[in-house]
Amino acid sequence: MTDIKFPKGFLWGGATAANQLEGGYQEDGRGLSIADALPGGPERFKIASSPDFNWEIDSDKYTYPNHVAIDHYHHYQEDIALFAEMGFKVYRFSIAWSRIFPNGDETKPNEAGLRFYDHLIDECLKYNIEPLITISHYEMPLNLAKNYGGWKNKQLIVFFERFAKTVIERYGKRVKYFLTFNEINSAAHFPVMSQGLVPNNGANDQKNVFQAWHNQFVASAKAVKIAHEFNPNIQMGCMILYATSYSYNANPVNQLANLQHNQDFNFFCADVQVRGKYPSYTHRYLAENGLTEADLDRTPEELDLLKQYHVDFISFSYYMSSVTETTGESDETVAGNLMGGVKNPYLQASDWGWQIDPTGLQIALNELYDRYQVPLFIVENGLGAKDVVEADGSIQDDYRIDYLRSHIEAIAGAINDGVDVMGYTPWGCIDLVSASTGQMSKRYGFIYVDLDDEGHGSMARSRKQSFYWYQKVIKNNGTDL
Ligand code: BGP
C-alpha cells in the first residue's frame, strides 16, 4: 500500500440508478420506461437483442423485477439514513425520465415526479451528503423508443433538452454535479438499453448506433450549456464504461488491434464529449462498421455546439479489464460487463466471469488523465456476488471487502502518480436489481435487502460486514483499509 493520503474533501459515497432500485413504476403519474419492458433473468440481453423484440410487456411470459425493485420509492428515507450512517459524502443516483415526462414528448413536466426528487435531495442534504445526479441512466420513456425509434431520431434532442432543463433548473441550486448519459459508449454492445434502439434485422444497425451517439453528444452539449448558464458552479460530467484493455502478447498485430480497440471503445465518446470534436480515427472506426461520414446527419451548428460545450470532468465505471487478440493465439474466453473476450491468464474472474483487476484501475486513471487532463470520478466499481445470510442474520462478505480494498489501493496509487481524482462511489451501495441479469441474486451492496429473484422477501434492509468496513474507510479518509 502506498502511503499517499486521499485529498481532504475526497468524495466517498455510493451509486445507484432509478430503474434498478426505485420500483413504484406507475406511481404519482410516472409513465412506462424502456427499463420496465426488459424481462428479468439471465437471458434478458439475449431476448432484448433479438429482431422480434418489440417493447411489449408480456407478464405471462416474463417477470419484470424493475417494476417493484427494492421499493426505494417508499424506503428512500431509511436508505439515505443508512448511507449517512456509513458517512457518505456523496450519493450518485439517477432521475427516471418517465417520472418527469411520462411519455417524453409532453411540454409540461409531472409535478409529482419532480417532488419525489426534491424530497430525495433534501434528505441527502440533511446529512451533508452531496447529490450527484445522472440525468439518464439506461432509460427513457417507453413511448420515445416505441414511437420515435429511440436516440437515432433527432427529435429526442429536443425532448432531452426539455427534460435536462427542467431537472437542472429545479435542482441545480442544491446539486453541483450532474452526469448526462450513463456509460454512453456501452451502445457499442447493447444499444437497446442505452439508446432505446431495437435490432433492425441487421439493416442500418450500426448506422443507427452512430447516429444515436451523435444525437446524444449534441443533447449532452445542450445540457452543459443549460447548466453553465443557470449556475456557473455546476460541474457537468460524461460517463464512460471503461475497461482497461491489454494486448494478448507482444505480437505487433495484437498491439495495434488493442490500440484501435481502446480508441473505439474506451475513448471515442470521451474524445467528443471532453475534447469537443470527433477524433482523427473516426473515419477508420466508421469504415470498420461499413459506414462513411456521409452516412451521418451532423450539421455545422451541432458540431459547433460540441466544440463550445464540452464537459468539465470525466466519470467512469470500472469493474474489469479485457484482452485484445486477433491472431487466433488464444482459445480461452470469458464473460464480462456487456463484452466478454479472451481470458487473461494473470487474473481471477468473478462468479459472472468478469476479470478482477485492481491494477487495471490504476492504469485506467493514468490513461484517462494523461489523455484529457481533467478531473476524474470513479462513479461505479464493485463485485457482484451471491451473499449468504448466516443464522445470526449477519453477512460475512470478506470477498467484497477484498475487492474494494484492492481497488481503493489502486486509486491511492493513481493519486500518487499525480492523477486528479474527485471521488469514489461503489456501485449498488444498497443491493438492487442487476442490469445484465435483471435479478436480485447478483448483489453489490454494503446493505443487504431481503428480496429474492422471484420477488419474495420482506424488503428489510440490514448491514453487511462490508458496511462497517466502508464506514471505517470513510471515517479515516482511506488511511486504514
Ligand atoms: C454498469 C451499469 C449499472 C450496473 C453495473 C453492474 O454497467 O451502469 O447499471 O448495473 O454495470 O452490472 P450488473 O448489474 O449487470 O452486474
Does pLDDT of 215 surpass 70? yes
Cα separation, 456 vs 291, whole angstroms: 48
Which residues, 6 or more positions from 126, have their beta carbon under 8 angstroms from its beta carbon?
Answer: none
- Residue 79 Cβ < 6 Å to ligand 1: no
Cα separation, 376 vs 399, whole angstroms: 26
- Residue 435 Cβ < 6 Å to ligand 1: yes
Task: Tell me the average pLDDT across 317-325.
Answer: 96
Which residues, 6 or more positions from 197, have their beta carbon under 8 angstroms from its beta carbon?
Answer: 145, 149, 150, 151, 152, 187, 191, 205, 208, 209, 212
Does pLDDT of 452 surpass 80? yes
- Active site annotation includes 380: yes
Tell which wins on pLDDT, 42 or 370.
Answer: 370
Which residues, 6 or more positions from 110, have their beta carbon under 8 angstroms from its beta carbon?
Answer: 28, 29, 30, 99, 100, 101, 102
- Taking the CA atoms of residue 221, residue 160, residue 269 and residue 215 in that order, the dihedral angle to the nearest 10 degrees is -90
Contact yes or no for 55/175 (Cβ under 8 A):
no
Q: Which CATH architecture has domain 11-475?
A: Alpha-Beta Barrel (3.20)
Split at pLDDT 50, 70, 90, the class of 2 is low
Cα separation, 447 vs 428, whole angstroms: 9
Split at pLDDT 50, 70, 90, the class of 4 is low
Does pLDDT of 338 surpass 90? no
Is the pTM value of this prediction over 0.95?
yes
Cα separation, 261 vs 366, whole angstroms: 18
- Residue 436 Cβ < 6 Å to ligand 1: yes
φ, ψ for residue 246 (rounded to 5)? -110, 150
For ligand 1, the distance from its centroid to the CA atom of residue 435, given in whole angstroms, is: 5
Question: In 269-420, where do the E strands start and end?
Answer: 313-317, 322-324, 333-334, 341-342, 376-380
Cα separation, 217 vs 221, whole angstroms: 6
- Residue 266 Cβ < 6 Å to ligand 1: no
For ligand 1, the distance from its centroid to the CA atom of residue 183, given in whole angstroms, is: 10
Task: Tell me the average pLDDT across 249-272.
Answer: 98
378-404 per-position pLDDT tens digit: 999 999 999 999 999 999 999 999 999
Show the 3-state SS of 87-129: CCCEEEEECCHHHHCCCCCCCCCCHHHHHHHHHHHHHHHHCCC
Q: Which amino acid, residue 250? A: A
For ligand 1, the distance from its centroid to the CA atom of residue 425, given in whole angstroms, is: 13
Does pLDDT of 262 surpass 70? yes
Contact yes or no for 368/375 (Cβ under 8 A):
no
76-133 per-position pLDDT tens digit: 999 999 999 999 999 999 999 999 999 999 999 999 999 999 999 999 999 999 999 9
427-450 per-position pLDDT tens digit: 999 999 999 999 999 999 999 999
Q: In angstroms, how far apart are the furthest CA atoms of the chain? A: 65
What is the per-residue pLDDT for 186?
97
Coil vs helix vs strand at 299? coil
Split at pLDDT 50, 70, 90, the class of 203 is confident
Contact yes or no for 59/471 (Cβ under 8 A):
no
Q: To the nearest whole percent, how much of the chain has pLDDT over 90?
A: 94
Q: To the nearest whole percent, how much of the chain has pLDDT over 70?
A: 99
Mutation pick for ligand 1 pocket among 193, 320, 436 (CB with most ligand atoms within 8 Å)? 436
User: For ligand 1, atom 15, which residue shows the shortest CA distance?
Assistant: 436
C-alpha cell at position 290: 461499413
Cα separation, 128 vs 126, whole angstroms: 6
For ligand 1, the distance from its centroid to the CA atom of residue 184, given in whole angstroms, is: 13
Q: Which of 476, 425, 444 is nearest to 89 (CA)?
A: 425
281-316 per-position pLDDT tens digit: 999 999 999 999 999 999 999 999 999 999 999 999
Q: Among 198-202, 245-249, 385-389, which is the least confidently predicted range?
A: 198-202
Domain residue spans in the chain? 11-475
What is the per-residue pLDDT for 200?
81
Which residues, 6 or more positions from 52, have their beta carbon under 8 angstroms from its beta carbon?
Answer: none
Split at pLDDT 50, 70, 90, the class of 331 is confident
Mutation pick for ligand 1 pocket among 33, 186, 434 (CB with most ligand atoms within 8 Å)? 434
- Residue 134 Cβ < 6 Å to ligand 1: no
- Residue 380 Cβ < 6 Å to ligand 1: yes
For ligand 1, the distance from its centroid to the CA atom of residue 418, given in whole angstroms, is: 29
A 10 A CB-CB count for 252 gives 9
Question: Which of 56, 380, 390, 454 is the catalytic position?
Answer: 380
